[in-house]
Amino acid sequence: MANDVRTHLIGLLLGAEEDWPRAFESIMSLVGPVQADGATHSISSERVRIHPFDLTDPVRHSLVIDRLAYWYYHPREWLKKASLMNDTYLLNSPFTFQSMEKHSAYVAMLRLGMKIPKTVLVPYKNPVDNVRWAYTASKYNDPFDLETIAADIGYPLFMKPFDGGGWRGVSKVKDVEGLHRAYDESGNMLMHLQATVDYDKFARALTIGPETMVMDFRPDEPMHNRYAVTHDFLSPQAGWEAETVSKVVNAFFGWEFNSAEMLVAGDEVYPIDYANACPDVAINSLHYYFPWAITALVRWSAYCLVTGRKSAIGVRHPRDYFAIGDDPDRTYTEKMQAYRELADAEFETDRYWEWCEQHLSHLPERVMDWVASEDFDRLLVDTVRGHYPAHEHEKFIAHFRGLTGMWVTDQRAR
């Protein structure tokens, strides 16, 4: 009997990115044919082109990694068509983008009992662009006292758009004068007021499928220096909880490529932002963690395609989480443990790692060799030259070579 040969094409739907797509393509080429369940699986990728499409046109891509549709509506609608008509696997699904507007994510995780800082949504400063606004506002909008709301939350506080994204419109408000200045500048953005937390560490977790990396993040530093390479910077309990928050958020909403930000005080973890349709995976910000991130993206993509996993079109099983969250007899820790079990089941965590060990055990060593190669160095140098002025090239090439070289050294030591 002839061997069953199956081909899988991954589409990369991209904006202004070159570094991680080149890395993804290089690492995917290291996977090789996968022998599984009596079939030979060949996996390749291409960058998706944008053009008019008939709603009945076939889609060649078995899986699409989307980095564009959160702001570009034409490819967003193509993704919806690909999912509904052609059963294409999507990372992430545009059907959940409404929840990516932060507000829904805050509300859902509050329902689950997570430690979200006190947050209040206030009406627009400036009228929305709609001819009916004046009548509706005069008839139904209640007057409110912004200063009273802020005083109840407490200074300092943060004012930030309900839909967020790239720190756009975020202000740290220290007093009444700053409050009115930030609100006046918000214009027609819909804003949250959110309490601050006295914290020891700012953690950012990047989760791709079942894999999560919790990193020591320094938001006040320049982008190239924001991720500190400090292992075990959280207590075991806080580290577990930060990882759990990221996994549970993703499993709840059906996100498979997402980052979460948390303020950590001792063993207490306060999630503040965990809905990112386009998480940061650039080499000039992740540096040391870049090889892990792209390898995880390759592994999860390969796993989903070869095992025939089906992607979610919307939120999968929210009531399962609500039943836990509404249980008065469970402690916070017991709820988090139960959520984590649901998340691990959703992402087939045990099966995934067993599958990787069986079919991709060669990949980590090949990735190490590639990161130490001239090909990777060209990618690094090209990225620096494309992002920094000429007089800074030498400094940043050395900076990123040092950090990625340290990753290779650490991995080989393990």
Name which of 43, 80, 37 is nearest 62 in CA terms: 43
Pairwise CA distance, residues 275 & 116, whole Å = 13
Name which of 264, 261, 304, 267 is nearest 280 in CA terms: 261
Pairwise CA distance, residues 69 & 92, whole Å = 10
Percentage of residues of the chain with pLDDT beyond 90: 86
140-176 tens-digit pLDDT: 999 999 999 999 999 999 999 988 766 788 999 999 9
* Torsion sign (Cα): 324, 206, 10, 76: positive
Q: What stretches of 75-196 adopt beta strand conformation (E)?
A: 89-91, 119-122, 157-161, 171-173, 191-195
Pairwise CA distance, residues 215 & 204, whole Å = 5
Pairwise CA distance, residues 29 & 156, whole Å = 50
pLDDT tens across the length of the chain (414 residues):
457 999 999 999 999 999 999 999 999 999 999 999 899 999 999 999 999 999 999 999 999 999 999 889 999 999 999 999 999 999 998 888 766 678 888 999 999 999 999 999 999 999 888 899 899 989 999 999 999 999 999 999 999 998 876 678 899 999 999 999 999 999 989 999 999 999 999 999 999 999 999 999 999 999 999 999 999 999 999 999 999 999 999 999 999 999 999 999 999 999 999 888 789 999 999 999 999 999 999 999 999 999 999 988 777 788 999 999 999 999 999 999 999 999 999 999 999 999 999 999 999 999 999 999 999 999 999 999 999 999 999 999 999 999 999 999 999 998
Pairing between β-strand 157-161 and β-strand 191-195 as defined by DSSP bridges: antiparallel
Q: Which amino acid is at 287?
A: H
Displacement of CA 362 from its chain's centroid (Å): 27
Most distant pair of Cα atoms in the chain: their distance:
78
Q: Which amino acid is at 410?
A: D
169 Ramachandran zone, left/alpha/beta (phi>0; psi -120 to 50): left
Peptide bond into 284 cis (omega under 30): no
Pairwise CA distance, residues 167 & 260, whole Å = 13
